[in-house]
Chain A
Amino acid sequence: MIRAVETDVAATDADSSVAVKTIRVRVLRQDAPGRESYWERHDVPYEPNMNIISVLQKIAAKATSADGRAVPPVAWDCSCLEEVCGSCTMLVNGRTRMACSALVDKLLVENADEIVIEPMTKFPVVRDLVVDRRRLFRSLERVKAWVPVDGSYDQGPGPRISPKEQEDAYPLSTCISCGCCLEACPQFTKIEVIRRDDESQEEFDARRKAAFDKGFLGAHAISQAMLFNAHPTGGMIADERLKAVTSQGGIQMCGNAQNCVAVCPKQIPLTRSIARAGRAATLWAIKRLFDR
């Protein structure tokens, strides 16, 4: 058996003192939406300090599978490579994470035999590891995740904010829209809308949007709603956000599995946001019951 890491792995295994050259990678590929997915094996030369991005870069450059066939390079999304743009979410060894911060040495300690890479399962596959996450951004529209300012002309500084409020808000504001929380959520299920032949792009967009709007918002959007409701100016439309958060696909869909917070690469206190949204929704519903 080939061993990839000389240090940790080999140290525990007396008879494999050979330093190792090859990482075995298995990738779940899919040529286009609606096509069958298939597994493909790749051998990648080992280097210290690699991450999954550099593994995929080597696969792309080589464009030859482990059995020696010339294959098109695996497609994947990435940009910043420092876990702040949110592009490169995928399943590595079965778990959702950012490919850039998935370090090969650590993965090989988990499983020295191979690394398994798959696309996210809760979003439609575009190609190979590229998925269509526009539903995630649609959720931000649903909860009006913005401060409703009058405009961008000079009106003086923003409201005074205490350090405590800032420290509360800041972590929520570091959400990179990667979708890990949605991928791991057992309550968040895939919505894939296929364009009909007789449908214009606009009709298709509208139909897809309507389908998205019935689905679960997800932890990220609920957390953003709480972020903006806590802001002095953002809170001026708190009711509108709570309306969105309590409409179909809203916070009630949460099943409290709390996977979101466990897989969030930015360690955002998502369950706290969800519970706060729950409280706000409770109070808002009661208020509405008696106020209207």
Chain B
Amino acid sequence: MSTNPASGPESIDSFFSRHQFLIYRLFSLSGLIPVGAFLVVHLLTNASVLFGPESFQSRVDLIHSLQPILPFVEWAFIFLPMLFHASVGFAIIAGGLPNVGSYPYVGNVRYTLQRATGMIAFAFILWHVWQLHSLGKSFGGGAFKPEQATSTAATAIQSAPVAILYAIGVLSAVFHFANGLWTLGITWGIWTSPAAMRRANWVSIVVGVALAAAGLGGLAGMLTTDVDEAERIESKLHPKNDAAAQDGR
């Protein structure tokens, strides 16, 4: 079938219509790889703070050893897939009519929560990136310094309202991921029978609980970090930190 080389909003609409299946499948896949995978790595990295600032710092250093291609990696494998996942996700949410009031079944509650947590997680991530990532610097955020990973992160989070928002954001992301894992298995036809779906459900619960533990653990680790102590350790690991910081880069 040949396609008309038309232009304008109608052709965009028809592009999305014609490739709806592909787009939705890529959306589903992107939730697992790379976005979900990144979430897992991120939360596990964070949780390493429980073993002390050295542990966390070394993992952050490992990631940042990718410089100078790190921005490229971040955009290609994290930000763009996430934006894609989010924009298709918002389109899906806009097209649905949650009805959990009339049909309060477990599956339907999860359907609704999946959409709610997706939106919360997305808002949280925007704020989180603004607050800590270097991208946020131009807008008065970007507090995280890779060479002083633990201290800068801990400083940013160590206030009750921020901590609570972080807990909500992290748990939303974890639920969205774990529940999404289960629905992904149905979408792609990995588990098809009700019994297999129940078994897969247990797997996703275990994954969810483990990730929630890692996420909250990392958060707790940051909250209980002694910032002065962390800075001392960081300056030992990265002697030039002070000078670099004074330069303002």
Chain A interface (Cβ within 8 Å of chain B)? 94-95, 184, 186-187, 189, 214, 246-259, 262-263, 269, 271-272, 274-283, 285
Contact = CB atoms under 8 A, between A and B. Distances in A.
Interface string B187-209: 11111111001000000000000
B186 A252 contact: no
Contact of A95 (B24, B102, B189): B102
B189 A275 contact: yes
A258 B105 contact: yes
Contact of A94 (B22, B97, B102, B186): B102
B194 A278 contact: no
A255 B92 CA distance: 9
Nearest to A188: B97
Interface of B: 17-18, 20-22, 24-25, 92, 95-99, 101-103, 105, 107-108, 110-112, 114, 183, 186-194, 197
A256 B187 contact: yes
Contact of B96 (A186, A214, A251, A263): A186
Contacts, number: 106
Contacts of B107: 256-259, 262
Contacts of B189: 275-283
Contacts of A276: 189, 192
B97 A186 contact: yes
Given A272-B192, A274-B186, A279-B188, A259 B25 contact: no
B105 A259 contact: yes
Given A186-B96, A278-B189, A281-B189, A256 B105 contact: no
Nearest to A91: B102
A184 B20 contact: no
B18 A248 contact: yes
B8 to A, nearest CB: 18
Given A246-B21, A248-B18, A272-B194, A262 B188 contact: no
13 contacts: A94-B101, A186-B98, A187-B96, A214-B17, A253-B20, A254-B187, A256-B110, A257-B112, A258-B111, A262-B103, A279-B189, A280-B189, A282-B188
User: Which 5 A-B pairs give the minimum distances between C-beta atoms?
Assistant: A279-B189, A258-B107, A257-B111, A252-B24, A278-B189
Contacts of B191: 275
Contact of B194 (A246, A252, A269, A282): A269
A216 to B, nearest CB: 9
A283 B197 CA distance: 19
A252 to B, nearest CB: 4
A72 to B, nearest CB: 28
A271 B186 contact: yes
Contacts of B111: 186, 255-258
A89 to B, nearest CB: 14
